[in-house]
Structure 1
Amino acid sequence: MAEEQEEFAAFLAGEPMDESWHDSPWVRSMTDLGKELARVHVLRSPLTDYLRYELAAYPGNITAGENIGIIDLAHQEVNGLPDHDFWLFDDAEVYRMHYTDAGQFIGAELLPGEALQRYQGYRDIARKHAMPFADYRDQLLQD
């Protein structure tokens, strides 16, 4: 994304993440209200430079209260997950994320209510198979 280009270039040059990444203000604004934030990032190693950059920000999200798990399909097979990103909000609404072929986010689509139970099932499968981010970082990201 255009607004990330300077920071991404600094990351590739080996510079540390900006101080603002050490405790994510956006995540903190939600957790301070008592909201639970959790994600399972399904990926496949070897990681692209951009994925390494994205994962470098996760410790700050965790500090701010987000629960992050990883499923690396190069190290485990997980059946029953969709081939696209989605978000569940308050366990009541589900949004499917849309990207260009180059991976640029282009929008989120609110899915009809009858899709909610199916996506809650996807969430449960992902949580069951996810490795905590710290374990992924310590065991697999170092490879």
Structure 2
Amino acid sequence: MLHVVGDEVFEPLFRAARRYAFHLEVQDTYGVADEVEALRRWKAGETYEPEEQPASWKAWDDLVVETAGRGVTLERLRVVTVPHSDYTRWLLSQTEIRLEVGEAVRWLPRHLADPADVPGDDFWLFDDDTVAFTTFAESGEFMGLSITTDPGIVSRCVNARATLWPHGIDHIQYVDSEHAHAQ
């Protein structure tokens, strides 16, 4: 059974994680409200100082640091189209902070993955027993989480992680790869 909920349950999912939290991102662009200004400034070549960033960014970083500090492995795999969208290029420029706060980030060019192995939805997988699908409107706006512990659904997400993560390219290598610089 899926339970569609708001953002307020996200934090407890991380606090309950004991072994790992894995995030699969499969969209090439998002319209998340608190990223719009940062993306606009990046496109214009303007800076976005840390003190100007939304409080939600610091809260997220603090949660990740706390979670990693408990020994929970944090993995983020971004399946992306090459050449990259503006949004993906912006993410590439912003990913270093993800590494600094404790996430392992890998990139997987979509053309290198079997389409049958790539789920159509983004999700967080916690400890092989809980999945939180991040749901988005067609505009890319975050709509909430759909959470399930259904063994069949969880198993499919566990298999997606096991299949895709090993093929992802570590962020440090990816930024220097031909994929990151394709036009």
Same fold at TM > 0.5? yes
Q: Is the 8 A contact 2:106 2:169 kept in 1?
A: yes
* Distance apart, 1:91 and its partner CA: 2.6
* Structure 2 portions without partners, runs of 5+: 1-31
Equivalences for residues 95-106 of structure 1 within 5 A: 95-106=132-143
The equivalent of 1:56 in structure 2 is 93
> Whose RCO is larger (CA < 8 A, sep 6+)?
2
Q: Distance in 1 between matches of 2:48 and 2:71?
A: 27
* Distance apart, 1:19 and its partner CA: 4.4
* Structure 1 portions without partners, runs of 5+: none
1:77 aligns with 2:116: no
The equivalent of 1:9 in structure 2 is 40
Q: Is the 8 A contact 2:136 2:143 kept in 1?
A: yes
Q: Is the 8 A contact 1:81 1:125 kept in 2?
A: no
Q: Secondary structure at the match of 1:141?
A: coil
TM-score, normalization by structure 2 = 0.67
The equivalent of 1:142 in structure 2 is 181
Q: Distance in 1 between matches of 2:122 and 2:106?
A: 14
Q: Distance in 1 between matches of 2:95 and 2:170?
A: 11
Provide closer, same or farther for how the CA distance between residues 5 and 81 of structure 1 changes in structure 2, counting only shifts above 3 A.
closer
Q: Higher mean Cα deviation, 11-20 or 82-91?
A: 11-20
Equivalences for residues 5-44 of structure 1 within 5 A: 5-16=36-47, 18-19=49-50, 24-44=61-81
Equivalences for residues 121-140 of structure 1 within 5 A: 121-139=159-177, 140=179
Give every structure 1 segment of 4 or more consecutive aligned residues whose post-TM-superposition deviation is greater than 4 Å.
none
CA offsets 1:74-128 (integer angstroms, 9 cap, x no match): 4x13242212111102332012222111222212111242221221011111112
Matched pairs, number: 141
Q: Percent identity between the aligned chains?
A: 25
